[in-house]
Structure 1
Amino acid sequence: MDICCILVITAMTQASEETLNPPSNETFLYFAYGSNLLSKRIHIQNPTAKRKTIGQLKNYRLDFLRASTNWNGCSATIVEDDGSSVWGAIWEINVSNMKDLDRQEGVDVNFYKVLMKSIETPNGEELPCRLYQQVRNPTESVKFEDIPFDRQPSKTYLKCILDGAVESELPSDYIDSLEKIPNNGRDASPTMLKQLGWE
């Protein structure tokens, strides 16, 4: 094998490795609307996350459906709904944590699926963000205060959302609406409480 072939093969191998393992300075934007609003929550599995700004996903509403054993209650999802908006935090995360985020959201077990959506910031900028939607979603739209018991989040999960909304400085009227969400009276699992420092 001559030197030219060796150089070509080496270059192709390096390019392939860079595709599979992108340089550590590469980042992506992630829109969090549920428990990952809270920094101590997102940093459990995604330590490189840095809050960049906040934004809203238009023509979707916040809702709850599938139960999580870690949380002992239902987790948040987004559902298409003309005229509604979901506010959240926009995190900038190193690509090295992308698989960790997917795993946290249960993409591998068909709990959530990945979406790419344009998120509008308070100054009108549109940012392309990665976000997650439950694979199965509620068909019935109800007011937050009327969410049925079997679709309610746990006390711990809701606390993450409310504390994270305040920490992220989401609009006050949106936080007021979140405070109307009922919870099922349960705490998260001991493991989750320990990870959050809320034992």
Structure 2
Amino acid sequence: MLYFAYGSNMKFERISKRIKDVEYVDIGQLLNYKLFCNKKSKDGTAKANIVYNYGDLVWGVLYEIDESHYPKLDLIEGGYERKVFEIQTENGKKILANAYISTKFTDAFPSSSYKDLIVQGAIENNFPDEYIEYLVKLPVSE
């Protein structure tokens, strides 16, 4: 089953250390959502999250992950709920993929090292400059 990563797991090096047998598929967009770093984390900082916001979009990376690995990913992504979303690939094809979303919000900011992982993942996957610029401008806690 496909997994749509929009945060730190966009970096292949990170997701491949967390989950074995992950395979890069494509990049895609989640329409009518916006990326915020507002998910409450155990360490007191914020993590990436998607929030419904008509007219916006979230860029992310599509990976193929065997169904047997999702329980481990669910534990890693604690505090999120796994849901199926319709993702649009670069060529306009619409496909279904798992993504994680949280309703446990915080006013905290992400750490600079966490934000750097997100920005690096976006650059690594050749996201549009304006989206990378949005990520670069996200405020941090340090």
TM bin (shorter chain):
over 0.9
Equivalent in the alignment of 2:134: 177
Instruction: Tell me which of 27, 31, 39 is aligned to 1:66.
Output: 39
Q: 1:67 offset after TM fit, Å? A: 3.3
Q: What is the CA–CA distance in structure 1 between the aligned matches of 2:11 and 2:35, rounded to whole Å? A: 17
TM-score, length of structure 2 as denominator length? 0.92
Higher strand share: 2
Equivalent in the alignment of 2:74: 102
Q: What is the CA–CA distance in structure 2 between the aligned matches of 1:80 and 1:46, rounded to whole Å? A: 28
Equivalent in the alignment of 1:116: 84
Q: 1:137 offset after TM fit, Å? A: 4.2
Q: Secondary structure at the match of 1:158?
A: helix
Higher Cα Rg: structure 1 or 2?
Answer: 1
By relative contact order (CA 8 Å, sep 6+), the higher-ranking structure is 2
Unaligned runs of 5+ in 1: 1-27, 139-149, 186-199
Question: Could you tell me whether the CA contact under 8 Å between 1:38 and 1:161 is conserved in 2?
Answer: yes
Equivalent in the alignment of 1:167: 124
Q: Secondary structure at the match of 1:129?
A: strand
Alignment of 1:28-43 (within 5 A): 28-43=1-16
Question: Could you tell me whether the CA contact under 8 Å between 1:79 and 1:137 is conserved in 2?
Answer: no
One-letter amino acid of the counterpart of residue 113, structure 1: E
Alignment: residue pair count: 142
TM-score, length of structure 1 as denominator length? 0.67
> Structure 1 residue runs of 4+, over 6 Å off?
none
One-letter amino acid of the counterpart of residue 93, structure 2: E
